[in-house]
Amino acid sequence: MANTEKKLNEKQQKALELLTSGKGLTYQEIADQVGVNKRTLWDWRNEPQYTHFQAALKKLNDERWLATVDAARAAALKLCLEGKTDMVKFILQNDGLNPAHKVEADVDVKAQVIFVDDLDEYEDKTE
């Protein structure tokens, strides 16, 4: 069985949860909670024989990052719809637009909300 197909043991699964918890725990704190030596935790993260652990850690980090980004997008959209001009300016600047330039346009906000209801679909259309 290749290393990438190995199952994680209970301690490794707990370590993954703690490493990606966002609580700012040190290696020593995580090792203590998991019940392993700090060196074991380091090995799982760095040694080639633990690629299954490293792949699972990357996958969990990616999933949690995407969930955070989705939540931030939803919050930003809500602030824009509430008329928070700083958020509108921030979003425009991050899309490469300069909100300092005056642009006149008629905007139907309700139509925009319906159009942006599915953020993944919106991103596909704007790329």
Question: In the structure, what pLDDT confidence band is assigned to residue 27 with cuts at 50, 70 and 90?
Answer: very high
The residues, any chain, with a CB within 8 Å of residue 87's CB and separated by 6 or more, are: 76, 79, 80
Question: In the structure, what pLDDT confidence band is assigned to residue 32 with cuts at 50, 70 and 90?
Answer: very high
Q: What is the pLDDT of residues 54-72, one digit of tens each?
A: 999 999 988 888 888 778 7
pLDDT confidence of residue 3: 44
Contact 88, 39 (CB under 8 A): no
What burial class does residue 56 get, using C-beta atoms within 10 Å of its C-beta: 0-12 exposed, 13-18 middle, 19+ buried?
buried
Task: Give the domain ranges of the chain.
Answer: 3-126
Select 3-126's CATH number: 3.40.920.10, 1.10.3720.10, 3.20.20.480, 1.10.10.60.
Answer: 1.10.10.60
Burial letters 10-37, b for 16+ CB under 10 A, else e: ebbebbbebbbeeeeeeeeebbeebebe
Tell me the mean pLDDT in the region 95-113.
54
